[in-house]
Amino acid sequence: VIEAYKQGLRPAVGYELNPWLLRLSRYRARRAGCDGKVSFLKQDLWKVNLSDCYNVTMFLAPSVKSPLAAKLLAELPDEARVVAGRFPFPSWTPSSTVGKGLDQVWAYDMKDVRQAAQSGVEGSPV
C-alpha cells in the first residue's frame, strides 16, 4: 500500500483482519511518512466490494487463490491490474513477472484474464 502510494496510485487502501498486522502496517506507514495518506482498514477481503479498484496487490496463500480468482473476475473492472506476491494465480497467465524466488511477483491484466477465460485457453479462472 505504501509503495502503491509512492508510485502515485490513489487511493491507497489495505484490508487486513489480523490486528497485529494491521498495527504493523499503520506503524510502517507512519515511519514512511505516509500517515494520513494511506489507509489500512480492518475488514474482511471477502466482504469488501472491489468494483471500484483498479490496482490490487496481494500476498495470500495458494489455498485462497481459486476462490479469490472468482471474486476478482466478478468484481474488478477490465482496466484493473492484479499483482500477486509470493504465489501466482495457478490458472491465470501473467502479463508480466518481476523478481525471483520469494521476491517474485506476477501481474495480471483483468481484460486479458477475462479474454482467456472466455476463449477457454490457458489463463482461465478455473
pLDDT in tens, 53-81: 999 988 888 899 889 999 999 999 999 99
Residue 26 CA to residue 14 CA, distance in Å, equals 10
Could you tell me the three cell numbers for 20?
Answer: 497485529
Residue 120 has pLDDT above 80, yes or no: no
Cis? peptide before 11, omega within 30° of 0? yes
Residue 126 has pLDDT above 50, yes or no: no
H-run or E-run covering 81: strand 81-85
Mean pLDDT of the chain: 91
Nearest to 43 by CA among 17, 20, 22: 17
What pLDDT was estimated at residue 59?
85
Domains of the chain (ranges; CATH) run 1-43 (no CATH), 52-120 (3.40.50.150)
Residue 119 has pLDDT above 90, yes or no: no
